[in-house]
Amino acid sequence: MSPTVLVAGSANLDFVVRAAHVPAPGETVLGREFRTFPGGKGANQAVACARAGGADTRMLLALGADDFARPIEASLSDTGVRLHIVRDAQLPTGTAFICLSDDAENAITVAPGANMALQPAHLPPLDGVQWLLLQLETPLPTVLAHAQAARAAGVKVALNAAPAQALPAGLLTALDLLIVNEGELDVVAGHMPDLASGLARLDVPYVIVTLGARGCLARSEGRVLVQPAFSIVPVDTTAA
Protein backbone atom coordinates (compact mmCIF):
# COMPACT_ATOMS: atom_id res chain seq x y z
CA MET A 1 0.00 0.00 0.00
CA SER A 2 1.31 3.46 -0.91
CA PRO A 3 2.01 5.89 1.92
CA THR A 4 -0.33 8.85 2.30
CA VAL A 5 0.75 12.49 2.44
CA LEU A 6 -1.66 15.20 3.58
CA VAL A 7 -0.91 18.81 2.66
CA ALA A 8 -2.75 21.40 4.76
CA GLY A 9 -2.34 24.89 3.42
CA SER A 10 -2.83 27.60 0.88
CA ALA A 11 -4.18 27.65 -2.65
CA ASN A 12 -4.27 30.73 -4.86
CA LEU A 13 -5.06 31.72 -8.40
CA ASP A 14 -1.96 33.44 -9.79
CA PHE A 15 -2.32 36.38 -12.18
CA VAL A 16 0.99 36.60 -14.05
CA VAL A 17 2.18 39.33 -16.40
CA ARG A 18 5.54 39.21 -18.19
CA ALA A 19 7.50 42.43 -18.70
CA ALA A 20 11.02 43.51 -19.61
CA HIS A 21 11.69 44.29 -15.95
CA VAL A 22 9.88 44.42 -12.63
CA PRO A 23 8.62 47.99 -12.07
CA ALA A 24 10.23 50.11 -9.38
CA PRO A 25 7.98 51.92 -6.86
CA GLY A 26 5.93 54.51 -8.75
CA GLU A 27 6.92 53.13 -12.17
CA THR A 28 4.50 51.80 -14.80
CA VAL A 29 5.71 49.27 -17.36
CA LEU A 30 3.98 47.64 -20.30
CA GLY A 31 3.66 43.87 -20.13
CA ARG A 32 3.76 41.50 -23.09
CA GLU A 33 1.83 38.47 -21.89
CA PHE A 34 -0.83 37.78 -19.27
CA ARG A 35 -1.88 34.36 -17.98
CA THR A 36 -3.51 32.80 -14.94
CA PHE A 37 -2.24 29.71 -13.15
CA PRO A 38 -3.28 27.79 -10.03
CA GLY A 39 -0.70 28.33 -7.29
CA GLY A 40 -0.15 28.88 -3.59
CA LYS A 41 2.57 27.25 -1.51
CA GLY A 42 0.29 24.48 -0.27
CA ALA A 43 -1.15 23.64 -3.68
CA ASN A 44 2.34 23.68 -5.22
CA GLN A 45 3.49 21.17 -2.58
CA ALA A 46 0.52 18.92 -3.25
CA VAL A 47 1.02 18.95 -7.02
CA ALA A 48 4.76 18.27 -6.68
CA CYS A 49 4.09 15.38 -4.31
CA ALA A 50 1.45 13.84 -6.57
CA ARG A 51 3.65 14.18 -9.66
CA ALA A 52 6.62 12.62 -7.88
CA GLY A 53 4.58 9.45 -7.42
CA GLY A 54 4.93 6.81 -4.75
CA ALA A 55 2.43 8.36 -2.34
CA ASP A 56 -1.30 8.96 -2.15
CA THR A 57 -1.61 12.76 -1.90
CA ARG A 58 -4.44 14.62 -0.18
CA MET A 59 -4.91 18.32 0.49
CA LEU A 60 -6.88 20.36 2.99
CA LEU A 61 -7.55 23.83 1.57
CA ALA A 62 -9.98 26.73 1.90
CA LEU A 63 -11.57 28.35 -1.15
CA GLY A 64 -14.17 31.00 -1.80
CA ALA A 65 -17.49 30.32 -3.52
CA ASP A 66 -16.36 32.08 -6.70
CA ASP A 67 -15.09 31.44 -10.20
CA PHE A 68 -11.45 31.73 -9.11
CA ALA A 69 -11.82 28.48 -7.17
CA ARG A 70 -12.67 26.36 -10.21
CA PRO A 71 -9.27 26.20 -11.96
CA ILE A 72 -7.58 25.48 -8.62
CA GLU A 73 -9.88 22.53 -7.92
CA ALA A 74 -9.53 21.25 -11.48
CA SER A 75 -5.73 21.47 -11.49
CA LEU A 76 -5.35 19.63 -8.19
CA SER A 77 -7.90 16.95 -9.07
CA ASP A 78 -6.41 16.40 -12.53
CA THR A 79 -3.01 15.84 -10.91
CA GLY A 80 -4.49 13.13 -8.70
CA VAL A 81 -4.73 15.06 -5.42
CA ARG A 82 -7.72 14.13 -3.25
CA LEU A 83 -9.30 17.30 -1.88
CA HIS A 84 -10.77 18.27 1.49
CA ILE A 85 -12.25 21.69 0.69
CA VAL A 86 -13.43 24.25 3.23
CA ARG A 87 -15.80 26.56 1.34
CA ASP A 88 -16.18 30.12 2.64
CA ALA A 89 -18.80 32.20 0.83
CA GLN A 90 -17.78 35.34 2.74
CA LEU A 91 -14.20 35.44 1.47
CA PRO A 92 -12.75 35.36 -2.05
CA THR A 93 -10.45 32.61 -3.17
CA GLY A 94 -6.82 33.53 -2.52
CA THR A 95 -5.01 35.34 -5.32
CA ALA A 96 -1.45 36.33 -6.17
CA PHE A 97 -0.40 39.10 -8.53
CA ILE A 98 2.97 38.45 -10.13
CA CYS A 99 5.20 40.46 -12.44
CA LEU A 100 7.81 38.23 -14.09
CA SER A 101 10.78 39.86 -15.81
CA ASP A 102 12.84 38.71 -18.78
CA ASP A 103 15.71 37.76 -16.46
CA ALA A 104 13.36 35.53 -14.39
CA GLU A 105 13.05 37.92 -11.44
CA ASN A 106 9.63 38.56 -9.96
CA ALA A 107 7.58 40.75 -7.66
CA ILE A 108 4.59 39.16 -5.94
CA THR A 109 1.65 40.49 -3.94
CA VAL A 110 -0.65 37.91 -2.32
CA ALA A 111 -4.25 38.51 -1.24
CA PRO A 112 -4.84 35.45 1.00
CA GLY A 113 -8.64 35.62 1.06
CA ALA A 114 -10.20 32.29 2.02
CA ASN A 115 -6.82 30.83 3.01
CA MET A 116 -7.21 32.74 6.28
CA ALA A 117 -10.43 30.83 7.01
CA LEU A 118 -8.60 27.54 7.59
CA GLN A 119 -9.13 26.55 11.23
CA PRO A 120 -7.76 23.84 13.58
CA ALA A 121 -11.06 21.95 13.51
CA HIS A 122 -10.89 21.55 9.73
CA LEU A 123 -8.09 18.96 9.89
CA PRO A 124 -9.53 15.69 8.52
CA PRO A 125 -8.98 12.33 10.26
CA LEU A 126 -5.33 11.29 10.07
CA ASP A 127 -5.92 7.54 9.86
CA GLY A 128 -3.42 6.11 7.40
CA VAL A 129 -1.54 9.41 6.94
CA GLN A 130 2.26 9.14 7.25
CA TRP A 131 3.26 12.78 6.63
CA LEU A 132 1.58 16.16 7.12
CA LEU A 133 3.06 18.98 5.02
CA LEU A 134 2.53 22.57 6.18
CA GLN A 135 3.47 26.13 5.15
CA LEU A 136 2.82 29.60 6.59
CA GLU A 137 0.26 31.11 4.19
CA THR A 138 -2.60 30.13 6.51
CA PRO A 139 -3.15 31.39 10.10
CA LEU A 140 -0.22 30.52 12.36
CA PRO A 141 -2.47 29.23 15.21
CA THR A 142 -4.01 26.82 12.69
CA VAL A 143 -0.59 25.62 11.51
CA LEU A 144 0.45 25.07 15.13
CA ALA A 145 -2.73 23.17 15.99
CA HIS A 146 -2.47 20.96 12.91
CA ALA A 147 1.19 20.16 13.62
CA GLN A 148 0.48 19.27 17.25
CA ALA A 149 -2.52 17.12 16.31
CA ALA A 150 -0.43 15.22 13.78
CA ARG A 151 2.39 14.77 16.28
CA ALA A 152 -0.04 13.37 18.85
CA ALA A 153 -1.39 10.95 16.23
CA GLY A 154 2.08 9.65 15.36
CA VAL A 155 2.14 11.40 11.97
CA LYS A 156 5.43 12.95 10.83
CA VAL A 157 5.29 16.70 10.23
CA ALA A 158 7.18 18.81 7.67
CA LEU A 159 7.03 22.60 7.56
CA ASN A 160 8.15 24.86 4.74
CA ALA A 161 8.51 28.01 6.87
CA ALA A 162 7.51 30.56 4.24
CA PRO A 163 6.64 33.39 4.25
CA ALA A 164 9.27 33.97 6.94
CA GLN A 165 8.04 34.70 10.45
CA ALA A 166 9.02 33.89 14.01
CA LEU A 167 7.67 30.51 15.11
CA PRO A 168 6.35 29.50 18.53
CA ALA A 169 8.49 26.91 20.32
CA GLY A 170 5.54 24.53 20.36
CA LEU A 171 5.56 24.42 16.57
CA LEU A 172 9.26 23.67 16.24
CA THR A 173 9.06 20.81 18.74
CA ALA A 174 6.21 19.26 16.73
CA LEU A 175 8.30 19.08 13.56
CA ASP A 176 10.27 16.21 12.06
CA LEU A 177 11.48 18.24 9.06
CA LEU A 178 11.95 21.99 8.61
CA ILE A 179 12.59 23.50 5.17
CA VAL A 180 13.82 27.11 4.93
CA ASN A 181 15.89 29.39 2.76
CA GLU A 182 18.67 31.54 4.22
CA GLY A 183 16.41 34.49 5.00
CA GLU A 184 13.80 32.27 6.63
CA LEU A 185 16.47 30.50 8.69
CA ASP A 186 17.63 33.87 9.98
CA VAL A 187 14.10 34.73 11.15
CA VAL A 188 13.21 31.30 12.55
CA ALA A 189 16.53 30.81 14.37
CA GLY A 190 16.56 34.33 15.81
CA HIS A 191 19.14 36.23 13.71
CA MET A 192 22.22 34.11 14.32
CA PRO A 193 25.57 35.25 12.84
CA ASP A 194 25.97 32.38 10.36
CA LEU A 195 24.33 29.26 8.91
CA ALA A 196 26.07 26.89 11.31
CA SER A 197 24.86 28.82 14.35
CA GLY A 198 21.34 28.96 12.99
CA LEU A 199 21.26 25.22 12.34
CA ALA A 200 22.64 24.45 15.78
CA ARG A 201 19.91 26.48 17.44
CA LEU A 202 17.01 24.59 15.85
CA ASP A 203 15.72 21.63 17.85
CA VAL A 204 14.30 19.81 14.82
CA PRO A 205 15.51 16.33 13.76
CA TYR A 206 15.97 17.21 10.08
CA VAL A 207 16.55 20.65 8.54
CA ILE A 208 16.99 21.58 4.88
CA VAL A 209 18.29 25.04 3.95
CA THR A 210 17.97 26.06 0.31
CA LEU A 211 20.78 28.31 -0.94
CA GLY A 212 19.58 29.44 -4.35
CA ALA A 213 22.25 29.06 -7.02
CA ARG A 214 24.60 27.48 -4.45
CA GLY A 215 22.32 24.46 -3.93
CA CYS A 216 21.20 23.40 -0.47
CA LEU A 217 22.41 21.86 2.75
CA ALA A 218 20.75 19.43 5.12
CA ARG A 219 21.31 18.57 8.75
CA SER A 220 20.56 14.92 9.41
CA GLU A 221 21.40 12.96 12.57
CA GLY A 222 24.14 15.41 13.53
CA ARG A 223 25.71 15.55 10.08
CA VAL A 224 25.55 18.46 7.65
CA LEU A 225 25.32 17.45 4.00
CA VAL A 226 25.85 19.84 1.07
CA GLN A 227 24.25 19.44 -2.36
CA PRO A 228 25.51 21.83 -5.06
CA ALA A 229 22.90 23.23 -7.42
CA PHE A 230 22.42 21.81 -10.89
CA SER A 231 23.33 24.15 -13.73
CA ILE A 232 20.12 25.47 -15.30
CA VAL A 233 18.76 28.44 -17.22
CA PRO A 234 16.09 29.97 -14.94
CA VAL A 235 12.70 30.55 -16.54
CA ASP A 236 10.41 31.47 -13.64
CA THR A 237 11.42 31.56 -9.96
CA THR A 238 7.89 32.25 -8.67
CA ALA A 239 7.50 28.90 -6.87
CA ALA A 240 11.18 28.28 -6.18
Please state the rounded mean pLDDT for residues 210-215.
86
For the chain, domain boundaries? 4-10+41-93+115-175
Cα angle 187, 192, 197 (rounded to 5 degrees) comes to 120
Q: What region, left, alpha or beta, does residue 37 occupy, with left being phi > 0 and alpha being psi -120 to 50 degrees?
A: beta
What pLDDT score was predicted for residue 239? Answer: 58
The pLDDT of residue 110: 93
pLDDT at 212: 83
In whole angstroms, give the CA distance from residue 4 to residue 155: 10
Do residues 14 and 36 make contact, with C-beta atoms less than 8 angstroms apart? yes
What does the mean pLDDT of the chain come to? 92
Mean pLDDT of 19-44: 95
Within the chain, what is the greatest distance between any pair of CA atoms?
56
Count other C-beta atoms under 10 Å from residue 136's C-beta.
21
- Check pLDDT > 90 for residue 78: yes
Q: For the residues 169-181, what does the mean pLDDT come to?
A: 94
The pTM (predicted TM-score) of the whole model is 0.91
- pLDDT for 182: 87
pLDDT for 238 equals 62
Q: What is the mean pLDDT of residues 56-71?
A: 98
Of the chain, the percentage scoring pLDDT greater than 90 comes to: 73
| H, E, C per residue of the chain | CCCEEEEECCCEEEEEEEECCCCCCCCCCCEEEEEEEEECHHHHHHHHHHHHCCCEEEEEEEEECCCCHHHHHHHHHHCCCEEEEEEECCCCCEEEEEEEECCCCEEEEEECHHHHHCCHHHCCCCCCEEEEEECCCCCHHHHHHHHHHHHHCCCEEEEECCCCCCCCHHHHCCCCEEEEEHHHHHHHHCCCCCHHHHHHHCCCCEEEEECHHHCEEEEECCEEEEECCCCCCCCCCCCC
pLDDT for the residue 237: 63
Note the pLDDT of residue 230: 84
pLDDT class of 167 with cuts at 50, 70, 90:
very high
Give the domain 4-10+41-93+115-175 fold: UDP-N-acetylmuramoyl-L-alanine:D-glutamate ligase (3.40.1190)
* End-to-end Cα spacing for the chain: 31
Average pLDDT, integer, range 105-121: 95
Query: Mean pLDDT across the stretch 185-197?
Result: 80
CA–CA separation, 28 vs 66, rounded Å? 30
| pLDDT tens readout for residues 213-224 | 888 888 888 788
- pLDDT score of 205: 92
